[in-house]
A = this chain, B = another copy of it.
């Protein structure tokens, strides 16, 4: 079914049929986190969205080289094109070596990604690990006369570039419009053009993170790292480049310009961008005080959260909105997702022991097709989820004896429900299988045996007391036609 995959390309603003450069292989680059603070939830959404995309490409049988960088140096504050980078500043404040900060937040980022059950990318290159590659690329851009050096800092010449290539293509804007939104250059500015950006920045004596270069000691501008690393690992033109939509106007626009100026080629065939987060319909931001961290979301330790939500409930919640739509956090929506996630996982569990009949009352083949159609339509996970809920409904009905499923259909249902829920959506059971789990199974068997005796004796007082005592501890017993079953309600 992989021939039918369509992807919305930010570059052309249309859904295009996906055709990889090398048949059967996909090169995928996603802009990763800047590791000088805790990863925020907007970033998590981007990485979880691309995890879904990565998983679906793998499911379709593609061999994917997935590269997601770690920005550990050279990320300037705002558009300030000179001086220390953020790490060096924070290091001085905290009396830390910048790489200690990098280590702390890289490990923290990996922890969060693990909790969300994302697959690690195949390569996680760091900016500091590719200084040489960045320098080589800048040398080439200077040689091609799209950049110039002033006092040890190298700037990209946007106006010159724009004479040959449309600079604002990714956001559909002309240079004149972009210039209008920029302040006039003052006498203090080194650079020639208002939109020119730094490829290499001369360090000051107090700069902590600096490297030697043909232009003296300094550090790379933020944009060049992604151009250098993506071309190193995926080639001068590769298939898919992703990131948050806030990166379109500057970072990705500059990536295209840098690669084009260096390699005379457009670097990316399909640009993909994830949308932003809101909380109760207000844009999530630190200043609005509604920007909770993943850890706060898991524990519920934030004024806006009624309770904690497990990583899988949050992941499932994110799957219920398309990656190009705004995702709105609210307690109601999260609690609905919690229930939906539990319902889907319960259905998967039931499915394992479901009995087949001679014929099917539902069209399972059509349901599978709808799942693929959804994902082939620009990875439309919410539509996929709706179809998986229909699958869960059929499973529950069949279990209750209200529907029937033929053997062939049952096998098909098992196959695609498992593939889409576990492999593609990346959901997993949140119960463990430890020795205490086994002990709990054992203890509950003993209790159900005692309950059977009590019931046999028609001792309703003892029976009610047992039920209530268990309820206190969040254990619920239900009688079904196959005997009593228990579950943890918390």
State the A residues within 8 Å of B (CB): 65, 97, 99-100, 102-104, 107, 110, 120-126, 128-129, 131-132, 135-136, 211-212, 233, 431-432, 434-447, 449-450, 466, 469-470, 472-475, 488, 490
Contact = CB atoms under 8 A, between A and B. Distances in A.
A442 B473 contact: yes
Contacts of A128: 129
A438 B431 CA distance: 12
A408 B272 CA distance: 65
B129 A475 contact: no
B442 A472 contact: yes
Nearest to A120: B107
Given A431-B436, A437-B436, A100 B65 contact: yes
Q: What 5 A-B pairs come out closest when comparing CB atoms?
A: A442-B473, A129-B129, A443-B443, A440-B440, A99-B123
A103 B129 contact: no
27 contacts: A65-B97, A65-B100, A97-B123, A99-B123, A99-B125, A100-B122, A100-B123, A103-B123, A131-B131, A132-B132, A136-B212, A431-B435, A432-B434, A432-B436, A434-B436, A435-B490, A436-B437, A438-B473, A438-B490, A440-B440, A442-B470, A442-B473, A442-B475, A443-B443, A443-B470, A446-B466, A450-B466
Given A432-B432, A449-B469, 5 more contacts: A99-B123, A103-B120, A126-B129, A431-B436, A450-B450
A470 B446 contact: yes
A22 B32 CA distance: 37
Contact of A447 (B131, B132, B447, B488): B447
Contacts of A438: 473-474, 490
